[in-house]
């Protein structure tokens, strides 16, 4: 899984929800019990083994409990395949209630939808805990992980608590919850499908542009190859013919040849020498 789908370290204070007029008061939650539960060996082992999952919205846990089934059949006969949206990869708490955590968005339909919301800065994380109420004081007993909700109770977390939606929820009829869940899943799948179509169209456009660029490059390469072959062929034809030269060069070379020939003939002729006549009036034998 890519690290880009894991959030940065998120820190918030269990004693400070960041709200004054909205959300649900959690001052009645026993802080030490909550901190001990977060840091407990059971919770940390679940995280280290990759088993602390979260869901998109709290409706799934409200209908099917802290650990929902993989497939559920609603009263209207609709079958819903339930897959987690999140995985907690790091979680700790200090004694004074400062919680730090990191969450991974899974590559599931719910996870993709939650991830888009997160990148758009819509919604946040909400801790899902089971608890017991003793004389009006709440003691968390089971740590179920983080769900992704549109209105988190703890503003600074973009996270937290005990099905901590900021909107107060009265007793919700099961049928209403199921209808809401079915509609939510339909919306998630439609949104993911639309996103898939958009990504596919963009990918196809990129592929088409790449193919066009490759075609243009191949055409240019082929044209260059043909031009080179043409030049090589012309050079071959030129080398097979007698070399040409201007008339002036030809005339000059002809004159040089004639001059050289004339000089050669002159040097081969016998030279005429005067013949001395012996005899005469005074030297006759």
Structural domain range at position 119? 3-167
Residue 207 falls inside a structural domain: no
Q: What is the pLDDT of residues 148-200, one digit of tens each?
A: 988 765 434 443 334 444 344 454 445 555 556 556 666 666 655 556 566 66
- Is residue 125 a contact partner of residue 99, using CB atoms and an 8 Å limit? no
Mean of the pLDDT values across residues 20-41? 80
Distance of alpha carbon 120 from alpha carbon 113, whole angstroms: 11
Is 15 within a domain? Answer: yes
- Where does 41-120 have alpha helices with state H? 41-48, 59-64, 109-119
In a domain, 62, yes or no: yes
Alpha carbon distance 18, 174 (integer Å): 31
Identify the CA nearest to 143 among candidates 63, 61, 72, 27. Answer: 61
pLDDT tens digits along 163-175: 444 344 454 445 5
Q: Give how many domains the chain has, as a whole number.
A: 1
Token pair of 237, please?
């034809």
87-137 tens-digit pLDDT: 999 999 999 999 999 999 999 989 998 999 899 888 889 888 888 888 888
* Mean pLDDT rounded to a whole number for the chain: 75
| Domain-located, residue 129 | yes
pLDDT in tens, 207-256: 777 777 787 788 788 888 888 888 777 776 666 655 566 667 767 777 77
Tokens representing 168?
């107060």
Q: Residue 133 is inside which H or E element, if any?
A: strand 124-134
The confidence score (pLDDT) of residue 60 equals 83
Residue 5 CB burial class (10 angstroms; 0-12, 13-18, ≥19): middle
Contacts 24+ apart (CB under 8 A), 35-38: 35/93, 35/94, 35/95, 35/97, 37/129, 37/140, 37/141, 37/142, 37/143, 38/91, 38/92, 38/93, 38/99, 38/143
Residue 28 DSSP label? T
* Positive or negative: CA dihedral 61, 190, 167, 6: positive
What sections of the chain are H helices per DSSP? 31-39, 41-48, 59-64, 109-119, 174-240, 247-268
List CB contacts of 284: < 8 A, sequence separation 6 or more: none
Q: Is residue 217 part of a domain?
A: no
């Amino acid at each position: 899984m890519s690290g880009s789908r894991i959030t940065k370290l998120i820190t918030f204070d269990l004693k400070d929800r960041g709200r004054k007029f909205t959300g649900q008061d959690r001052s009645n939650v026993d802080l030490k019990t909550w901190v001990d539960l977060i840091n407990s060996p059971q919770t940390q082992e679940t995280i280290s083994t990759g088993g602390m999952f979260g869901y998109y919205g709290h409706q799934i846990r409200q209908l099917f409990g802290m650990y929902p089934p993989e497939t559920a059949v609603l009263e209207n006969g609709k079958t819903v395949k339930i897959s987690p949206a999140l995985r907690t990869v790091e979680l700790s708490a200090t004694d004074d209630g400062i919680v730090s955590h990191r969450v991974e968005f899974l590559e599931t339909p719910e996870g993709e939808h939650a991830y888009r919301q997160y990148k758009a800065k819509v919604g946040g994380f909400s801790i899902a805990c089971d608890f017991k109420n003793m004389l009006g004081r709440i003691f968390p007993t089971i740590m179920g992980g983080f769900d992704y909700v549109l209105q988190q109770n703890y503003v600074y977390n973009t996270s937290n608590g005990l099905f901590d939606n900021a909107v107060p929820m009265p007793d919700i009829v099961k049928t209403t919850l199921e209808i809401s869940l079915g509609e939510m899943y339909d919306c998630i799948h439609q949104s993911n499908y639309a996103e898939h179509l958009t990504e596919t169209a963009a990918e196809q456009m990129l592929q088409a542009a790449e193919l066009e660029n490759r075609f243009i490059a191949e055409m240019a390469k082929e044209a260059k190859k043909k031009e080179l072959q043409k030049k090589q062929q012309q050079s071959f034809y030129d080398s097979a013919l007698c070399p040409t030269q201007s008339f002036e060069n030809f005339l000059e070379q002809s004159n040089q040849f004639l001059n050289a020939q004339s000089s050669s003939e002159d040097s081969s002729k016998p030279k005429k020498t005067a013949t001395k006549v012996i005899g005469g009036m005074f030297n006759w034998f």
